[in-house]
Structure 1
């Protein structure tokens, strides 16, 4: 993986990121790769927020993975900051190569570098393979999550 670079995403990366977000049964229902306008607006919001890190894994100029890391300052846990890993995706041709592990390890190291005391993530209840992957990397299924569409 010597030819791999994890770097901040750029506006030029948006089509590749959105394609990866849409490339599974859940993403296919909620993403719209044919209309990038809302993604460009979201990218601008992310880029202007110092608590956000949207990164891509770049192999020889091709985007092959992505994730978003959000740092949340807090009062609980004696004023601890925590990070949340979201939108982890690996290009279909790279799955099983270890790239997902590299991305998560990068997110953990970046969280530590930023002074976070906890890193967390959520995974859709139907993504059983992803759950095993995260558990193998030391994450524990410790909470029950809830969400409400607005």
Structure 2
């Protein structure tokens, strides 16, 4: 994609980030998890993103094309802990607008996150995706991620 720039999000980007995470919720959790609060982005995403921007152990990247934000990635560092003594960079969420998918935007966002993780001495990078989101799983596997955990649920 021509003229694609990956930058660290700024406070002025938060409105666009709220719109993108709202789309993520509708397209992903909205069709895969009947228990997700789909109004969370409208109610909480602004504060969530502003909080990420203020933390040293968090990162929010935006993908800009032609001056417009077309995707984002949010993540943070955690650990080490006594039980699991490794430093982990957790890719919390990522979304690329439909029109820009398949053009390397997601790859560039993840590459930026991996640089950030290495710079912070992370020993592992992790991401969680719905098992039914085969496109996301395939993308992350192409980026080098390997399946490690399986969550099983039983609705009562």
| Contact map agreement 1:15 1:33 (CA 8 A) in 2 | no
What is the aligned counterpart of 1:44 among 33, 46, 50? 50
Pick 1 or 2: higher relative contact order, CA cutoff 8 A, min separation 6.
Answer: 2
CA separation of 1:60/1:144 partners in 2, compared to 1, >3 Å: closer, same or farther?
same
| Root-mean-square deviation over aligned CA pairs | 2.6
Query: Gaps (5+ residues) in structure 2?
Result: 31-35
| Structure 2 counterparts to residues 99-118 of structure 1, below 5 A | 99-118=105-124
Distance 1:79 1:33 in 2: 32
Aligned to 2:91: 85
Equivalent position SS for 1:56: strand
Normalised TM-score (structure 1):
0.82
Cα offsets for 1:101-144 (capped at 9, x unmatched): 11112111221121111101000122111111111111111112
Answering whether residue 130 of structure 2 is matched by residue 128 of structure 1, we say no
Q: Aligned partners of 2:102 and 2:116: how far apart in 1?
A: 23
Deviations 1:53-97 (A, max 9, x none): 111111232101101121113046984311000211001110111
